[in-house]
Each structure stands twice: as structure tokens, then as C-alpha cells.
Amino acid sequence: MSDKILIIGACGQIGSELTMSLREIYGGTNIIASDIRKGVSELMDSGPFEFIDATNKDQIEAVIHKHNIDVVYLMAAMLSGAAEMNPEKAWDLNMSSLFHVLNLAKAGAIKKIFWPSSIAVFGNSTPKKRTPQQTITEPSTVYGISKLAGERWCEYYRTNFDVDVRSVRYPGIISWKTMPGGGTTDYAVEIYHKAITEKRYECFLSEHSRLPMMFMEDAIKATIDLMDVEELKEYVAYNIGAIDFTPKEIADEIKKSIPDFEISFVPDFRQKIADSWPQSIDDSEAKKDWNWQHTYDLEDMTSEMITKLRNKDV
Ligand code: AKB
């Protein structure tokens, strides 16, 4: 019999595509989507849905019991830009939801957890190029502090209570189906939408801000592959890398399909966040331990984004 899986935060950017992929693999009825708000009809109509406020342990526990859940993907989080505006709310959402799920696993209510970490665990003192798995982690953002603390708590529950919790440090994720919200890497999604609808984009990062990024297909594959591994070899939260580019480089790639596209640069408070993050990621440990390999480069991704967005109402 298939595991019953609960996704908390199923209507967000990664959660929504993860839910649909898991439903395709394991069947709609085995995958319970949940969020504080309703999702798009594709998600609402393809399997069970429950309302859950991720900060409310009773609500999570009730749904776990109701559906006999084995595995939880906890995707609810406040991202970097939004977290700088709401530090306490971000800390509360990002940490209390994790504690609830870790404690439910410790008590034996579920057997496996996926929790997303981020390149935000790194900070200004981290080596910027090909940032290694193990290096200085001194994040300077509210979001980064919550992700680093989360990684340490996952490690603690794994070591002391034998909780099977797994994580990857997502870079910026780019997709055409669902918009991200509140992140620093969001520009790399907005740019495609604006290129198609307005042929111009005002970028909130400077033209040479290089950041690690990944196409959604690769991010979903990394998540599901890591959860499928029999046993974690070494790390609770793995670096995963794919591509890295600057706003100017992505704009130049878009111009190959939309020659009259124009970009301007008006950096805002998110520039400081971007400046504190790595430019590229060394993911050799993930490659070694669970055969991680990305597929999409900037060219493939741009061509798919433009084709798909042109066929969709944006
Ligand atoms: C953000 O920009 O906050 C996120 C992230 C890199 O974790 N996309």
C-alpha cells in the first residue's frame, strides 16, 4: 500500500507543483493537499484538500489522524523579502510549523518529513563561488536565520529522536505555473511574465547580481528523489545546484526570443539580501550521496518559460 502524504503549504509556488507531481506518481487520493487558503482548480479537483494553518499544531494533528498520514512535506514558509518586513511573524511561521511536525514525528504520528531549507542559510562571510556543503553559515536575514535554525533542529531531532527528516537548500526556483511570493529571487519569474505582457521589466536587483537558480522541474525531481532514497547518507540538508545567472544575462537570453524586450535596474532593499547570498553552489555531496543531477540550463528554461507562458493567460 502507498504511503499517505500530507503537503502543508500546497498552494504555494513549490507546494502546488509538488502536489500535482506526487499525485501523478502515487495517485490523487494518497496525496492530501493543505493550505490556509484554497488553491487553483487543478489542485483542488485532483485529490483531497484540507484547510490547515501551519502554526496550529491541533489542526495538523487532526488531519494526520483523519487521513492516516505517513509522510509530511512542510512547504509553508515566509520567504526572504517578506520576512524582512515581518520578522516575528516569519520566525513564528517558519519555526513553529517545523516544531509541530518534528514533534509529531518524535511521537510516532508520522514516519518521514520533508522540510525545505534554502541558500539563505549562507551569509556575507560564506565563500560566494561554488559554495560548499559545509562552510561558514552566518546568515544576515530573518529568513536565513530561521532556515539555519531549522536545519540545526532537524539535525537535533534526527540524532536524538531518530526522526527521518530530509531537506535541500533550494536556490531561486523558476516556474511558469504558480507565482512565487515575497522572495529575493522572484525577479527571475516576474521577468518572463513582464517580457511577454509588457516587453519591459524594472528589476529590483542590480544588473550584475549573480544568484543560484533552478527550473521547477529540477526542484521537484530533487525533492522527490531525496525522499525516495532508502536512508540519508550524511546530511540533513543538501546543497543542490543547477544554474546561476545575473539579471542582465537572463534578460539577454529572453531577448533572443523577444528582441524588443527592455530591462531597467532599480535595486531596492532586496539587493542587500542578494549580496549576502552565494553566486553559485557546489552540490557534489548531493551528486555523490543520492545521484542528484539537474537537467535544465538557462537556455532550455527560457525557451520553456516563454513557450508555456505564451499559451497561458498571464
Ligand atoms: C527567496 O528568494 O527568499 C527564496 C529562497 C532563495 O529561498 N526563493
Least confident of 173-182, 185-194, 261-270: 173-182
Q: Are 81 and 186 in contact (CB under 8 A)?
A: yes
Please name which of 240, 190, 184, 213 lies closest in space to residue 301, comparing C-alpha atoms. Answer: 213
Residue nearest to atom 8 of ligand 1 (CA): 172
* Ligand 1 contact, 119 CB (< 6 A): yes
Element (H, E) at 31: strand 31-35
Residue nearest to atom 1 of ligand 1 (CA): 183
Q: Is 37 helix (H, G, I), strand (E, B) or coil?
A: coil
CA–CA separation, 280 and 263 (whole Å): 23
Percent of the chain's residues with pLDDT above 70: 99
pLDDT at 185: 98
pLDDT band for position 220 (cuts 50, 70, 90): very high
For residues 44-52, give the mean pLDDT.
Answer: 97
Residue nearest to atom 7 of ligand 1 (CA): 118
For residues 121-136, give the mean pLDDT.
Answer: 98
**Catalytic one among 26, 73, 143, 296?**
143
* Ligand 1 contact, 120 CB (< 6 A): yes
pLDDT at 46: 97
Pocket test for ligand 1, best of 13, 86, 94, 173 (most atoms within 8 A of CB): 173
pLDDT at 233: 85
For residues 67-71, give the mean pLDDT.
Answer: 98
* Ligand 1 contact, 94 CB (< 6 A): no
Sign for the pseudo-dihedral over CA of 43, 227, 99, 237:
negative
Give the Å distance between the CA of 272 and the centre of ligand 1. 13
Mean pLDDT, all residues of the chain:
97
pLDDT at 231: 87
pLDDT at 313: 63
pLDDT band for position 314 (cuts 50, 70, 90): low
In angstroms, the Cα distances linking 225 to 8, 26, 111, 279, 293 are: 19, 14, 17, 25, 10
pLDDT at 24: 97
* Ligand 1 contact, 97 CB (< 6 A): no
> Does 143 qualify as catalytic in the annotation?
yes
pLDDT at 312: 85
For residues 290-311, give the mean pLDDT.
Answer: 97
CA–CA separation, 161 and 19 (whole Å): 28
Q: Would you tell me how many other CB atoms lie within 10 Å of the CB of residue 272?
A: 14
Q: Is the pLDDT of residue 282 over 90?
A: yes
pLDDT in tens, 87-128: 999 999 999 999 999 999 999 999 999 999 999 999 999 999
* Ligand 1 contact, 80 CB (< 6 A): yes
- Any idea how long the chain is? 314
* Ligand 1 contact, 170 CB (< 6 A): yes
Q: Would you tell me how many other CB atoms lie within 10 Å of the CB of residue 24?
A: 11
Pocket test for ligand 1, best of 78, 79, 244 (most atoms within 8 A of CB): 79
* Ligand 1 contact, 184 CB (< 6 A): yes
Q: Which atom of ligand 1 is nearest to the CA of 118?
A: 7
pLDDT in tens, 148-157: 999 999 999 9
pLDDT band for position 2 (cuts 50, 70, 90): confident
Element (H, E) at 255: helix 247-257
Q: Is the pLDDT of residue 1 over 80?
A: no
